[in-house]
Each structure stands twice: as C-alpha cells, then as structure tokens.
Amino acid sequence: MRKILLLSLIVLVVAFYSGLSNLGVAIAQKDDIVFKTFVHDPRAPGKPVPVSNCTVTTNDQVSDFGLAGWYMPSAGMDYQINFGTKPKNLSESQVSAAIQSSFNTWTAADPKQKFNYAGTTTTKAAKFDGTNAILWKGITRGALAITYAWYYTTTGELVEADTVFNRNYKWDLTDISAGDCGGTTGDYDVQNIATHEFGHWVGLDDLYSSADKDLTMYGYGETKELKKDSLGLGDISGVNAIAP
C-alpha cells in the first residue's frame, strides 16, 4: 500500500516584522516575532479519499513528544471563531462545542494551559492582527489544516495563533464514543483535527515515527479518524513539559 502522507508537513517560515505598531498589537520588541506554519497535507489534494485507513489505537502509551519552540502566556489565549466560514452541514453550536472540547482536552491534561472563547470574528485569513482566529478557507495546496504561530524569539512566549481548516475537504463531527474510527465515509472530523492543531498552540510539534501513530500529535490523519480527540501519554507528558 502506498504510504500516505496526510496530516503534517511542517513548513518553517521565518519573517521579521517591522512596523507592528500599525497592526494594533502591543509588541515590546518588534524584531523578536517569528512566524511559523504547520501544514497538514492530505494524500489526495482537493479530493477526499472515500476509503478510510483509520486504525484503532494499539498503543498510545509511548512517551514521545516534540517541542515547537514556544509556550502560551500564563493568562491563556483568547480565541475567536469565524462561523461564516464553517462547513454548512455543521451548526454554529456544533462547531463551537467541538472547538471548545478540543481546547478543553489540553486544559484537562495541564490546567496551566488556558483558552477563553472571545466570540465571533469575520477574519477570513490567518494574519498577524491581534485576533487568535479559527476559520475555514479554501487551501489550494492540499493542506488539511494549518496553524500559524507568532512568538517572541527572545522569551519563547506565544503572541498569536490562528488555525485554518481547509474548506476543500468534507468535515463532520462524530463523538469519540463511536470508537477510534467512525463517522461518515470521506469526512474528516473537526474535533479530531482541531485537537491536533491546538497541540501546536500549546507548543507541541508534529511526530512522524510510526511508533507514534496513536498519539494526537502524530503528523498524519485520516478520514473518519476520531482517536486524536483523546491524548496519549506523549501528548500529556509534552504539554506538561511546557510552562506557560
């Protein structure tokens, strides 16, 4: 079987910003912000794969984790959702609940990681604008979802994070009680992928070893996959190793 590269290809972009005062963000040292993206490539860009290769968990007690290089502020992160961009088959309350559940999963593993819902946003793209936005957008390059993080290189503290889900794929929501794999054929689960993406917000990196396939931070994903909803040992160890 062809090896499927799905969830994560990390693209590192380093950009130094100037004139940040124009963006309405309080920046003490404007040259210390790094911009980093996580790109999660599905195996068939633009075309959801009808047959899922989701596998049930056999071992999520491996201790592996990777650090992305930043940590969240101790006050937590306020986040906003652009409901105008959400999948039409999901209601606002469904999307809101899924996003909140994904954030809560990390807070439950480490209460120092706090997230606060701050309402809706009309932001249609990831940009350094002072809003931690969650939205859907057509991504032509075949990425499932992308998380952008801006942080101070001097201190490592996160300044802003945005997560963009690709509208070119089919999204759905299925409760983890259905098992590690479940839901509609060809659909990606919002909470499953969101929990992975928010692992980047807290400062975790992707993992690619096949030994890590049952961890939330494993860098590949599948249609009908639900198992990233719950964290494995490495995910929990990792988030607790990062001090806000």
- Laid out side by side, the sheet with 145-152 consists of 9-11, 33-39, 145-152, 158-166, 133-137, 77-81, 115-120
Confirm or reject binding of residue 212 to Zn ion (CB under 5 A).
no
Q: Select the span of 1-9, 95-103, 135-143, 223-231 touching Zn ion (CB under 5 A).
A: 1-9
Tell whether the torsion through CA atoms of 227, 169, 11 and 191 is positive or negative.
negative
Which of 20, 37, 38, 109 contacts Zn ion by CB under 5 A? 38
Residue 79 or 201 with smaller CB distance to Zn ion:
201
Which of 60, 180, 189, 206 contacts Zn ion by CB under 5 A? 206
- Least distance (Å) between residue 221 CB and Zn ion: 9
Which of 8, 105, 192, 223 contacts Zn ion by CB under 5 A? 8
Give the Cα separation of 199 and 1 in Å (integer): 29
Q: Select the span of 108-116, 119-127, 173-181, 198-206 touching Zn ion (CB under 5 A).
A: 198-206
Q: Select the span of 36-44, 48-56, 158-166, 167-175 touching Zn ion (CB under 5 A).
A: 36-44
Q: Where on the chain is the footprint of Zn ion (CB under 5 A)?
A: 8, 38, 206
